[in-house]
């Protein structure tokens, strides 16, 4: 019997200012809420965090305005539910208040073995692959999904 794979997701966002700026306070105040919503969502497996309990200290591309998030889910449907139906949605709908539009891919999905915990480097490699080649079975998006066998879903 084949091992069922889990779905890793990573996303980055460029803040309108660094997280310690007053204009970002209303977002920063919601980070714990967002993380707890994920941890309590069906299908949640794991989320990347530093010793501080979140990922706000991670610097991506040397830019203090870019925030990083990465988590692992049992399925695409579980991640979709969390993103678009859970308490996360109230924060997601307000993203334009805190974040600038990015010209590069900002979210990537890929399948991993259940015992794997992806690294920041893994996520950056997947984002780079997505930017270079577009969606493919090992680096894709909600707009162009692939199942764990590599078959395009849409």
Say what the pTM is: 0.93
User: Looking at residues 66-75, what average pLDDT do you find?
Assistant: 97
Give me the mean pLDDT over the 20-42 stretch. Answer: 94
153 belongs to a structural domain: no
User: Distance between CA atoms of 5 and 50, rounded to whole angstroms?
Assistant: 25
Residue 62 counted as domain residue: yes
* 8 Å CB contact between 138 and 128: no
* Residue 10: per-residue pLDDT: 98
**pLDDT for 71-85, tens place per residue?**
999 999 999 999 998
* Residue at 145 is within a domain: no
Residue 141 belongs to some domain of the structure: no
Number of domains in the chain: 1
CATH of the domain at 98: 3.30.70.100
42: in domain: yes
- Compute the average pLDDT of residues 99-124: 96
Q: Domain residues for 21?
A: 6-133
What pLDDT, on the 0 to 100 scale, is given for residue 70? 98
Domain assignment present for residue 53? The answer is yes
SS3 content of the chain, % helix, strand, coil (to 5): 30, 25, 45
**41 inside domain:** yes
Query: Could you read off the pLDDT of 88-98 as tens digits, one per residue?
Result: 888 888 999 99
Q: For residues 87 and 76, what is the distance between their CA atoms, to the nearest angstrom?
A: 18
Pick from 1-10, 104-113, 140-149: least confident? 1-10
Residue 43 lies in a domain: yes
Q: What is the pLDDT of residue 91?
A: 86
């Amino acid at each position: 019997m084949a091992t069922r794979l889990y779905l890793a997701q990573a996303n980055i966002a460029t803040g309108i200012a660094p997280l310690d700026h007053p204009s970002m306070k209303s977002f920063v105040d919601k980070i714990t809420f967002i993380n707890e919503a994920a941890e309590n969502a069906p299908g949640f497996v794991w989320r990347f965090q530093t010793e501080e309990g979140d990922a706000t200290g991670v610097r991506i591309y040397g830019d203090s305005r870019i925030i990083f998030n990465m988590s692992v889910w049992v399925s695409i449907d579980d991640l979709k539910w969390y993103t678009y139906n859970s308490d996360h949605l109230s924060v997601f709908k307000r993203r334009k208040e805190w974040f600038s539009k990015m010209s590069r891919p900002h979210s990537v999905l890929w399948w991993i073995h259940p015992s794997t915990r992806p690294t920041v480097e893994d996520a950056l490699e997947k984002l780079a692959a997505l930017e270079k080649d577009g969606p493919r079975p090992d680096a894709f998006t909600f707009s162009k999904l692939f199942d764990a066998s590599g078959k395009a879903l849409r």
